[in-house]
Amino acid sequence: MANKIPVGILGATGMVGQQYIRLLEDHPWFQVAVVAASPRSAGKKYGHTLKNGWLYDGLIPDRVGKLTVRDVGDVAGVVEECALVFSAFSIPDKDESRAIENSYAAAGLPVFSTGSSHRGTENVPMLIAEINPHHLEIIPAQQKKNGWGKGFVVVKPNCSLQSYLTPLHALMEAGYTIDAVAVTTMQAISGAGYPGVASWDIIDNVLPLIPGEEEKTEREPLKILGAISKGSAGWRIVPKKGLTISAHCNRVPVSDGHLACVNISFKGKKPSAKEIINIWKKFRGEPQRLKLPFAPKQPIIYRYEANRPQPKLDRDSDKAMSVSVGRLREDTIFDFKFVALSHNTVRGAAGGGILNAELAYKKGFLK
């Protein structure tokens, strides 16, 4: 543990919790010190609690496998052993989920969550680190309003939108105004967690409904692209206006990697296809400027092949943290259309959560 920040994983036995453990095994700044899960797993060695076994290649990291699992409700015990927590637990009751994450923040621990319960909270940053790192600036106001000391909550957005929002942001940052987006996502079965979708439903099939997913895909980008503002009720993140998103979200028989077919319209000046590709290729965000360990060197990779990107071929690009884009062409109704892909359980979940924590650390929010 020497010279590394001890971290905890809440929901450590689930698919995303295991992904956190796998990705953090050789992290230069963070080391897993605490694993927490449901009361039925508490008190057992982590390696003996995985009912369905280790879900990833290789073996459970030996040191983590020997850790004793804590009850996720044992806030006092977790606080004693780590400096921040990655929250990956999933329970249906969003109020209860919020309350648990708040209890950790109130006890002085920064919480980096992949859950959805705080995504609508006006003073909680919902980060894609290359897009809205400045939203971390609302943390002092969040702490003040809640009476928290060193603790705070930062969340990740839904994995459905992370394949295409960074390419849109890059164009906006370059000075172009996008006012309409139509997106059809083809989402991997790992996005449903483990054991996820029944084999009878997904084999030889496509499910044209993922409950709640389209609403998140249409709503969450507006908060990410929004601005911090102070009103009568205090500081909050105001969603972006002037952008309309229409989404179809489908579950497809692919293990990992969410693919999105995207149509966009510009308001005012319109770039050429060549300009768009150049903007994407040159785009770099704060994680790249800070050289954060989990930051991809090139956050948007453009594939010139006519049949790319593909989940099997492109989801693991640059630590599975890059967005792969291709098939840019003019559209007969909108201005342009393209295909985008990201790894949903790495970039879209645990890897993105780690990158958010790295950003907060480098920006001085981890005391």
Residues with a known catalytic role: 159, 258
Report whether 321 contacts 310 (CB < 8 A).
Answer: no
Distance between CA atoms of residues 140 and 149, nearest Å: 9
Distance between CA atoms of residues 247 and 260, nearest Å: 10
Distance between CA atoms of residues 313 and 320, nearest Å: 11
Amino acid in the structure at residue 115:
G
Distance between CA atoms of residues 178 and 45, nearest Å: 51
For residue 58, which phi and psi values (nearest 5 degrees)? 80, -160
Q: What is the CA radius of gyration of the chain?
A: 20
Tell me how far apart the terminal alpha carbons of the chain are, to the nearest angstrom.
18
Report whether 277 contacts 329 (CB < 8 A).
Answer: no
Q: Which residues contact 272 (CB under 8 A, 6 or more apart)?
A: none
Distance between CA atoms of residues 108 and 171, nearest Å: 38
Long-range residue pairs from 234-243, CB within 8 A, at least 24 positions apart, any chain: 234/123, 234/141, 234/145, 235/123, 235/138, 235/141, 235/142, 235/145, 236/122, 236/123, 236/138, 237/122, 237/123, 237/125, 237/126, 237/135, 237/138, 242/177, 242/179, 242/267, 243/178, 243/179, 243/180, 243/181
Report whether 290 contacts 357 (CB < 8 A).
Answer: no
Q: Which residues contact 163 (CB under 8 A, 6 or more apart)?
A: 185, 258, 259, 260, 323, 340, 341, 342
| Residue where the block lists tokens 């989404």 | 247
CA atoms within 13 A on the CB side of 225: 25
